[in-house]
Structure 1
Amino acid sequence: MHILPLFGLIIDTNLIKTIRPILSEKNLVAAKKQYGALIQLFEQSEAPLFSLRDRLCAALRLAIGQGALAPLQRLPSSRLLAADLGISRITVEAAYGQIEAEGYITRHVGKGTFVSVGAAIAAMPKVSSKAKTLNNHARYSEANPPVVLSARGAAIIATGGCKEPLTPLPFAAGSPDLRVFPLKLWRQLTNKSLRLKGEKLLGYGDPQGYLPLREAIAGYLQQSRGVACHAAQIVVTTSSQQSLQLLATLLIDNGDPLWLEEPGYLGARNAFTSAGATIHAVPVDPQGMNLDANLPIPRLIYLTPSHQYPTGVSMSLSRRIAMLEYARFNQSWIIEDDYDSELHYDGRPLPAMQGLDHHQRVIYVGTFSKVLFPSLRLAYMVLPPSLVEPIIQLRTVYDGHSAQLMQAVTAEFIQQGHFAAHLRYMRQLYQRRRDHLLEQINDKLGSWVDPLPTAGGLQLAVKLPSGQEAELTRQAHRFGVITPPLSPLYLSAQDITDTPRDGWLLGFSALTPPEITAAVDRLALMQQHLGHDK
């Protein structure tokens, strides 16, 4: 017998060797059969990743979770398990103590150590990334049942969502040119807001929106868009999409009829579909949506009257008046999405439809994402007085309020005149880019690409040869050009408009003239490759 002093203790190094002979061969076989899986799991774990104690804890959890150690089954004593594993009894005691604290086992003096009732269920979620060393993660994943969504959740997922491109590649639609944004000025205004109102702006905000920003928006809309409003009617949101989602939640019940432009904005269709609306596609012609008295009376009518998305047409004055009268008579709500009316290039745009409404049936929606920058996450609604308080209450259930700091900076940007100056510059810049794109298309793609008239906006709709949209889109992608197709913006199965479904929506605002030229040249090369002739 060899005796070693260790931290003041006398340890018999031959003690482990004397334990096994106490058991008969028959009892030894029975014991190994009972907890042999535990020994195997311990031996298979990777020593460099764990201490001996952690390895044993993981093996015990896993053996209980897999059912190798059944509820109420007696475990070997710490002395016996230490002998089988070739580790110290102190390590086993530490491991037993840990998993007892976690509820996997119970220990009774004079009786032994037992697996707890229900411990197998508790063990499974405990399997972490370490369990891959014990080869059990995949088995647990396979046993996981599929997720069951609500009917509304499934409807939202089925729409495909609303995804914007992260980078403005040619010709991804809908992005402003961030390279020309006055970032230095914006930084100065941000620092000023933090210096003067920092603590207040870091706290919770008004769910209706930062009052100075609402006042600035009201003044701008009155002067530039002819909107009849004041700050108390405005609610600031994070995006026009959130505005539509709030309105759909507040005003739509399952099965309610809703009129949507055909073709129309996919984000609006998603918002209203998720709310359970029954959508009726209403044709758009050169004068805008054509009112159809044969359709069911709608709860909501969604319009982009100043610059129809995606065709680019403006709703005529006579159509606007007829639509307002129809909504008044039938107590329908009209949502006027004025998403990019600030970017009008040819002549002056018609004033907002909301300014013609004398019966409080129009809800006006706008956004700063297109005229400032997308990550600002600020938009707004101008509501009839009867809807203001309900929308504010609903907003508190969603995200509470928009970021106060960005609201304060945007208010300063507008009030100091920088917003108007920035818009003037953007109009000039984007008009030149639109004109350049039209010239390039007419010169190089005129035999098979036909642009639709557009007086403004960030993108240009073009028609393609009938039945070739999908193939041409795929080929354009091969040549390094993104060409968002028009056909997904149609809801009905049959073509009910004068505008062919096959086409592209080409974004030009974020591209310089050389970038536009290079992209059109690639499309022309594709044309030669495919052998298209007029």
Structure 2
Amino acid sequence: MPNTYPPLDPQAATPIYRQLYLRFRDAISAGRLQPGERLPSVRALAAELNLARGTVEAAYQMLGGEGYVQARGPAGTVVAPLLSTTPVAVGVQRLERPPTAPGPSTLVPMPLQIGLPALDAFPRKLWTRLVGRALRQGGLDGLVYPDPQGHLALRKALAIYLGVSRGISCTAEQIFICAGYRACLDLICRSLLHDGDRCWFEDPGYFQARRFLEQARTQLVPVPVDGDGLDVEAGMALAPDARFALVTPHHQSPLGATLSLPRRQRLLEWASSQGSWVIEDDYDSEYRYRGRPVPALKSLDTQGRVLYCATFSKVLAPGLRLAYLVVPQAQVARFATVVGDMQNHCPHLLQATVSAFIEEGHFARHLRKMRGLYADRRRYLVDALQAELGEHLQLDNKAAGMHLVAHLSGGGDDCTIARRARDLGLAIEPLSGWYRGPGQRHALLLGFTNVASREQAVALARQLRLAMDL
């Protein structure tokens, strides 16, 4: 850090991590730090300022959450390239995204962050052993150019798993391994999309998918969601000739509704009659805490209109960057041609490790363990919120998924609360930022998977109370 900055004051009312955050924010806003310029590493800055690494990480987390910086893995953390180069007053939004859109996480996860599995419960010792064995046993197949469709052993293991757990009848030939969910969407768009095609999109819906499809030059048609999931009749009234519909039928993202059977059937009838495609994002179907999981929409697809996407980010770890796409048999050749021209390869070592993890039964045991763990952690947070904020928040009662939806009983601006919460170190997201059309509702999205104890849940609920200014 340049020595022109005022010294950090440990006696000040403002926490050290926030003082550090303000230093960087002011430097970026004033143009002293330029877009693309690299920031000091967490370790180096902590040593230079004689701070704990966690303090520096918290400051960087806040900067990333507000869009001032981006983490680039081994390349370090840089000032966001899309920021304006013209100095502006601090607090003015300069990013090329809506002010209410949820920001990405950066270096370390923050409490209540949604979409993250329980990182403390990842089977590290077993994983390390399987990785080592895969390295020792790996032959030339791990050194040559990989199969662009993905490691065959993993695709075979997934075909068996999907048949048993999701009711999907498919072969390894129909499965494509991709470097994350957005890579699945990229493969779909390159294979089937034409510029200007219209696409039904759940409103509210997953903001990362929305951004990608907008960049792919689709015309998104926001379709409302209710207690039975996507309103198919509304979609048909708004855009009967749409070429795509992107849905999260098992656990609607973010509201949590399950697409009812009549609507599933109607959606498939529409797709078949129009020659349209349904993209099924089955992002967290493994986590249902009451009753049996609902079969995948793909399991009802007799006409070959559903493209099924799933990922290992929620069930293992997002850092693996492994997802998979199941395409109808009639489309395999087209997708195989396109994927061969893409740089969509996933490391052979990780694919071989996941394959062994599934084949040897570790995956099934891991999921059983996580379902029990998440049920407990969900209960910890629900109990704490009801005790601390019961009259101010109305919690959803859907015992599934990896996050809670907390509606604001007395009204209020969820974006303002989320910003205050982030200042207190909580990664809460505002529901209103997930809407694209009118009719926004204000609520808070709270991840519970990394709430490790009742005591932690109580402490987090009290911090949230401060953010709500109660």
TM over 0.5: yes
Local SS of the residue matching 1:294: helix
Q: Which residue of 1 aligns with 2:175?
A: 234
Amino acid at match of 1:222: G
Matched, 1:432 2:432: no
Local SS of the residue matching 1:440: helix
Within 5 Å, which residues of 2 pair with 1:283-294? Answer: 283-291=224-232, 292=234, 293-294=236-237
Q: Which residue of 2 aligns with 1:324?
A: 268
Cα pair 1:312 1:453 within 8 Å, conserved: no
Amino acid at match of 1:444: E
Q: Which residue of 1 aligns with 2:446?
A: 506
Cα pair 2:102 2:429 within 8 Å, conserved: no
Within 5 Å, which residues of 2 pair with 1:209-228? Answer: 209-228=150-169
Amino acid at match of 1:234: I
Q: Which residue of 1 aligns with 2:296?
A: 352
Deviations 1:50-76 (A, max 9, x none): xxxxxxxxxxxxxxxxxxxxxxxxxxx
Residue among 219, 229, 233 paired with 1:278: 219
CA shift, 1:472, in A, is 1.7
Structure with the greater alpha carbon radius of gyration: 1
Q: Distance in 2 between matches of 1:313 and 1:215?
A: 31
CA shift, 1:448, in A, is 1.4
Matched, 1:174 2:115: yes
CA shift, 1:246, in A, is 1.9
Q: 1:428 to 1:264 in 2, by over 3 A?
A: same
Residue among 239, 243, 247 paired with 2:184: 243
Q: Distance in 1 between matches of 2:419 and 2:128?
A: 41
Relative to its length, the structure with more helix (as a share) is 1
Q: Distance in 2 between matches of 1:393 and 1:516?
A: 50
Deviations 1:121-147 (A, max 9, x none): xxxxxxxxxxxxxxxxxxxxxxxxx9x
Cα pair 1:227 1:352 within 8 Å, conserved: yes
Q: Which residue of 2 aligns with 1:478?
A: 423
Q: Which residue of 1 aligns with 2:250?
A: 306
Matched, 1:184 2:125: yes
Q: Distance in 1 between matches of 2:106 and 2:411?
A: 27
Q: Distance in 1 between matches of 2:307 and 2:399?
A: 24
Q: Which residue of 1 aligns with 2:81?
A: none
Q: Which residue of 1 aligns with 2:26?
A: none
- Between stretches 200-209 and 371-380, larger displacement belongs to 200-209
The total of aligned residue pairs comes to 370
Q: Which residue of 2 aligns with 1:268?
A: 209
Q: Distance in 1 between matches of 2:170 and 2:152?
A: 14
TM-score normalised by length of structure 2: 0.75
Q: Distance in 1 between matches of 2:421 and 2:322?
A: 34
CA shift, 1:508, in A, is 0.9
Local SS of the residue matching 2:368: helix
Q: Distance in 1 between matches of 2:104 and 2:340?
A: 25
Matched, 1:417 2:357: no
CA shift, 1:198, in A, is 4.3
Cα pair 1:260 1:303 within 8 Å, conserved: yes
Matched, 1:295 2:238: yes
- Between stretches 173-182 and 232-241, larger displacement belongs to 173-182
Q: Which residue of 2 aligns with 1:143?
A: none
CA shift, 1:254, in A, is 2.2
Q: Distance in 2 between matches of 1:202 and 1:177?
A: 33
Q: Distance in 2 between matches of 1:478 and 1:186?
A: 35
Q: Which residue of 1 aligns with 2:345?
A: 401
Q: Which residue of 1 aligns with 2:14?
A: none
CA shift, 1:197, in A, is 1.4
Q: Distance in 2 between matches of 1:267 and 1:474?
A: 20
Q: Which residue of 1 aligns with 2:10?
A: none
Q: Distance in 1 between matches of 2:186 and 2:458?
A: 38
CA shift, 1:355, in A, is 0.6
Q: Which runs of 5+ in 1 are unaligned?
A: 1-145, 147-155
TM-score normalised by length of structure 1: 0.67
Q: Which residue of 1 aligns with 2:386?
A: 442
Local SS of the residue matching 1:398: coil
Amino acid at match of 2:363: F
- Between stretches 244-253 and 271-280, larger displacement belongs to 244-253
Cα pair 2:102 2:430 within 8 Å, conserved: no
Local SS of the residue matching 2:138: helix
Amino acid at match of 2:170: C
Q: Distance in 1 between matches of 2:322 and 2:103?
A: 17
Q: Which residue of 2 aligns with 1:517?
A: 458
Q: Which runs of 5+ in 2 are unaligned?
A: 1-84, 86-94
Q: Percent same amino acid at aligned positions?
A: 39
CA shift, 1:191, in A, is 1.3
CA shift, 1:386, in A, is 2.6
Within 5 Å, which residues of 2 pair with 1:522-533? Answer: 522-527=463-468, 530-531=469-470
Within 5 Å, which residues of 2 pair with 1:20-99? Answer: none
* Larger relative contact order, structure 1 or 2 (CA cutoff 8 Å, min sep 6): 2
Residue among 117, 123, 137 paired with 1:196: 137
